[in-house]
Amino acid sequence: QVQLVESGGGLVQAGGSLRLSCVASRRTFSGYAMGWFRQAPGKDREFVSAIRWNGGSIFYADSVKGRFTISRDNAKNTVYLQMNSLKPEDTDVYYCAASSYLSNTSSVYDYWGQGTQVTVSS
């Protein structure tokens, strides 16, 4: 059992920044790869970024490379997504997820947060 809670979303103007946080309820968090996904209404969940349990491997979707940074602090059971240079097309609900394996495929993730809304205005 791993419960995940996202926070940090909100309304920001294009070009601005937000930092999302995802806090896990259990100490076993440190053994999981963590991913960030986003989803717009009526669309499939889209991969954003993922990080291995030890931080040794990191992947980003092409659409966010150079703008977003994923990191984790296992001592705090927290994973972060720093989002800079935000664009209106980044508007979505953002979800964090935990998996036993590092992956860009949503179906392999075992645990999901409830999401946090990010809205970028022009």
- pLDDT tens-digit series, residues 79-112: 999 999 999 999 999 999 999 989 999 999 999 9
What's the confidence (pLDDT) of residue 27?
65
Backbone torsions φ then ψ of 74, nearest 5 degrees:
-65, -30
Give the 3-state secondary structure of residue 44.
coil
Identify any residues that bridge with 6 across adjacent strands, giving them in sequence order.
Answer: 22
pLDDT, one tens digit per residue, over 20-64 is 999 988 766 778 899 999 999 899 999 999 999 887 899 999 999
Structural element, H or E, at residue 24: strand 18-24
Mention every residue, 6+ apart, whose C-beta is less than 8 A from residue 2: 24, 25, 26, 28, 29, 32, 98, 110, 111
